[in-house]
Amino acid sequence: MPIFLDTGRIDEIKTYHRMGFLRGVTTNPTIMLGSGVTGGMPGIIQRTVEIARLIDPLPLSVEVTTNDRAGMIEEARMLAGLASNINVKITIHGPKGEMENLEVIHELETVHNVRINVTAMMSAQQCLLAALAGATYVSLFGGRVNNMGYNACDEITKLRKLLDALKLESKIIIGSTREVLNIIEWLSAGAHIVTCTPGLIKGMIVHPYSKETVQMFLDDAEKLKTML
């Protein structure tokens, strides 16, 4: 499942879904707002349902909009109930370091049968704890890890070795992708999935030398036609 598209725009999802290489979509309130979603929570729900139906059976990760314990559980259950392919994103802890989120993650996975994508993580140790708590996905923000002066590849490799050794089923998602180079590097380091913006995916596909070569082929093809 190597490539997830990070967007909330329907036109972008349709474009890359038709190409056949997408394996899922991720989004969050910030992305939804940037994608033109209006109308508050009803607008988010409407867009979520639209995306889920469009990519079904591929997974869609959408994020809760609260860090209140009861609120997270209620909203996660509501979001998961919108479609069978929805996973719910919950941050590893609250904005002030509140640690109840892992309790919420464990309860949602084991009691309410809601698939959770634990997000906003910056280290292998955070991801390991989320995996032990039962998370379906553990999301490491690779670009931000690199910005802090560490190599995200090292964290990915350590984490993958631990998950495999402990036979934990959580899948590693690497987000906060900054460069096309990151995608192949992080998958090679052991990530199961890398989330990519549409611009990065276009950068994977379109290469200036490929453009030059295609144009040469077309020019030579035209020359052949004149020889007939």
Q: Which residues are catalytic?
A: 89
What is the C-alpha separation between 136 and 154, in angstroms, rounded? 22
> In terms of C-beta distances under 8 Å and separation of at least 24 residues, what long-range contacts does 42-48 make, across chains too?
45/79, 45/82, 47/8, 47/10, 48/79, 48/82, 48/83, 48/86
SS (H, E, C) the chain: CCEEEECCCHHHHHHHHCCCCCCCEECCHHHHHHCCCCCHHHHHHHHHHHHHHHHCCCCEEEECCCCCHHHHHHHHHHHHCCCCCEEEEEECCCCCCCCCHHHHHHHHHHCCCCCEEEEEECCHHHHHHHHHCCCCEEEEEHHHHHHCCCCHHHHHHHHHHHHHHCCCCCEEEEECCCCHHHHHHHHHHCCCEEEECHHHHHHHHCCHHHHHHHHHHHHHHHHHHHCC
